[in-house]
Every structure is written in C-alpha cells, then in structure tokens.
Amino acid sequence: MDLVLLASVGGFFALRTSPVPGGGHRPLEELYAGEDGPLAARVDKVAARLAAPERRVAASIAHLGLAARLWSLALGPAALFGRIPALTPDALHWDPSATSPDDLWLAGTAELPGTATRIREEVQYGHLDPLSEAFRRDGNISPQLLRGNAGSALAGAVRELVAYARAHDRPDVAARARALA
C-alpha cells in the first residue's frame, strides 16, 4: 500500500508508520478502556483554540475530526488500492496534542480486504462505537450527535476522494469510494 499516494489525497488520509519523536502517542485501546485524561486534554485544547461557548461544542468538533481521520484511513486505501490497513485499537496510536497528519501512527503492516463490511468492522465497531462511549464519559454529549458526526465524517471522506479522483482522472476511485460508503 502506497502511503505517500494515500497522503496525497489530503491530510486526513495521511498515516504515519512510526511515532513522531517526542510525541505523546498512546494506543487508542487505552482511551477506549477508560484512560480519559488525554481525551479531556484534547477537548480542552479545542475549546481554548475555538473559544467554544460550551465544552460539549468543543467535544463535538474534536470527535468529528477524529472520526474523519478514522474513516479516511480506511475508505481512502480501499478506494485507491482495494485493501485497508488493519486499524486495530492496540496498533493505532493517537496523540491528543497533535493534529493531522502527526496525530496518528500505525504500529503494524497487516492489510485487510477493502470491503464495505471490513471497513465498517474496523472503523465503526472497532473505533467509533468505543470512541463515542469515551466522549460520553467525558461530558454531556448526545449519542445522536456523535452518530451524526460519524456520518458527516464519512461523507467528507467520500467528497475528498471524489475531488482527488477528478483531479487525477481516476473515475474508478470515485466510483469505489461512493459504493463503499
């Protein structure tokens, strides 16, 4: 899988395969298991940066950003290459103080078939469901809002892939992205 080509779609599609020196990366599985401090710090950072009127507004924006990264890292490779990286929560590391593309890195090179079912298993069930629970532990945020964010993030990934496909004369990529979504 050509990660340089994948990153050329846009920053949300970039995936590091080694940690950023000095970064604060930890496996996402720790967040999902209840280590909420890094998530709270991320929401606080977003709230300060945006001068958000309510903390839950910042939480929604932080959730949307991470959901967009997760969908992009699965949908992009599936549309471009027909396969996806194994995005298991123990192998996918997140730095809550960083932004894309330095916020995520993947420890591992395993690849999976780029099917709609596999993408849903990896992203929705493997990440977005436990991520939503983590955000709900952090504060008063509606599960419906989080599901809406996830849907919006998926639609955004499709839009980026369609734009990439048009710019690079790759109608096959646009068709696969739409069909998979």
Amino acid letter, residue 7: A
Q: Which residue has the tokens 């939480």?
A: 59
Share of the chain above pLDDT 90, in %: 71
- Kindly report the number of other CB atoms within 10 A of residue 75's CB atom: 27
User: What is the per-residue pLDDT for 83?
Assistant: 97
pLDDT value, residue 69? 95
pTM, whole model, 2 decimals? 0.93
Q: Is the pLDDT of residue 99 over 90?
A: no
Residue 53 pLDDT: 84
Integer Cα distance of 137 and 146 in angstroms: 13
Instruction: Tell me the per-residue pLDDT of 38-50, one tens digit each, with 9 for 90 and over.
Output: 899 989 999 999 8
d(CA 172, CA 22): 40
- What is the chain's mean pLDDT, rounded? 92
pLDDT of residue 175: 98
C-alpha 77/C-alpha 54 separation (Å) is 36
Give the mean pLDDT of 62-90: 96
pLDDT at residue 1 greater than cutoff 90: no
What does the pLDDT look like over 155-177, one tens digit per residue? 999 999 999 999 999 999 999 99
Banded pLDDT at 54 (limits 50, 70, 90) = confident
CA-based nearest residue to 134, from 66, 58, 39, 44? 39
Distance separating alpha carbons of residues 123 and 109, to the nearest angstrom: 17
pLDDT band at 81 (very low <50, low <70, confident <90, very high): very high
